[in-house]
Amino acid sequence: MNNIHNRNQILFTDNIANFRDLGGCPVQGGKQVKPGHFYRSSVLSKLQQEELDLLSDLNIQMIVDFRSPSEVRSEPDVVPPRCQYYNFSAIDFGTESDSAEVNSDMKSIMMAVIEKKIQLDNTESLTAQYEAMAADSSAFRQMFQLIKANPKAPLLFHCAAGKDRTGVAAALILLCLGSTEETIIEDYLLSNMYRAAENERIIKELSEATQDKALLNAFLVLLGVDAAYLHAFFSKVQELYGNWDSYFEQAISLSPVERAQMKERYLI
C-alpha cells in the first residue's frame, strides 16, 4: 500500500466536494506526479468568490466537464475568468423523467426516486456504465488531446459527484504516467473518504423525505465508490484491447512516444 491519502493533496472548500490535486501520487520507478497540473472535483455550479479566487491562485486554465449536455443545462458550471471550459460528455449518469429534466446533483436524483419520477439504478447497472466508458472512451480521448495541445496549462476535470466519470479520467492519467493499478484503486477509493461529510448530509436530508431504510441504504451505496466498479472498467479494456499500450494508442490516440513525453513533463 502506498498510503496515498497522506500524499494526495485534498483542497477543502465549502462549495466543491472531493477537490484534489493528483500531484503526489506515486508511479513506478520511485517517482510521483508533479503537483499543480491535474485537478479533479465535483460539479462547479455553486462557486463563490472564495472558490473563484482559489482556482485563480492555482492557475487553473482549462476545465473539462464530463457530464451530459442535459446535466450541464440543468446545473451549469460557474467558469472563472480567463479559464477555458470544455464539455466532453463521458456517459449520462443522470436520468430524465418524462416531464422534466432531473437535476444532476445526487440529492435531486434521489428525491426523484423517492417521488417515483424515476427508477433507482442498481449496482450492476453502475458497473455496466463503467464498462460502457471503456467501450467508448471518446470523452477521455478529447481530454488527452487537450492536454497534448496545452501541455503547460493546469487542468481541472470533473463530473457531477466527482467520483465515477472523474474517477475513470484520473485513473487514465495515472496509468498513462506509470502508476500501478493497485495505486490507482487506492486513489479512486479516496472519494469515499473525501465525500463522506457531503454524503452524510445528503442522506440526512433525504431521510426527512422517506423512512424507507432499504432505499436510504441503497442511496448510500450509490453515493460511494467500490473497487469493483473500476475493476470492471479495467477488465473491459483488457477484453477489448488486450493491454494498456493498445488502449492508449487506439482508444486515446496517444502514442508510446507521446506517453513518454508526458512522463518527462509531469513526473518528479
* Crossing angle between the packed helical segments 123-135 and 213-223, to the nearest 10 degrees: 20
Q: What is the pLDDT of residue 212?
A: 85
Question: Within the chain, which residues score under 50 in pLDDT?
Answer: 1-2, 94-104
Three-state SS letters, 208-263: CCCCCHHHHHHHHHHHCCCHHHHHHHHHHHHHHHCCHHHHHHHCCCCCHHHHHHHH
Are 159 and 196 a contacting pair, CB within 8 Å?
A: no
Residue 171 vs residues 115, 118, 201: alpha-carbon distances, Å: 35, 30, 27
Q: What is the pLDDT of residue 95?
A: 44
* Degrees to nearest 5, angle at CA 173 with 170 and 194: 20
Q: How many domains does the chain have?
A: 1
DSSP codes, 160-227: SSSSSHHHHHHHHHHHHHT--HHHHHHHHHHHHHHTHHHHHHHHHHHHTT---HHHHHHHHHHHS--H
Phi, psi of 63 (to 5 degrees): -120, 125
pTM given for the model: 0.89
CATH of the domain at 111: 3.90.190.10
Q: What is the pLDDT of residue 156?
A: 99
Enclosing H/E stretch for 72 = helix 69-74
Q: What is the pLDDT of residue 216?
A: 85
* Cell output for 70: 442535459
Give 127-152 pLDDT, tens digit per residue: 999 999 999 999 999 999 999 999 99
Range of the domain at 181: 4-266
Cα 172 off chain centre by = 11
Q: What is the pLDDT of residue 228?
A: 96
Give the whole-angstrom CA distance, residue 159 versus residue 5: 21
In the chain, the N- to C-terminal Cα span, in Å, equals 20
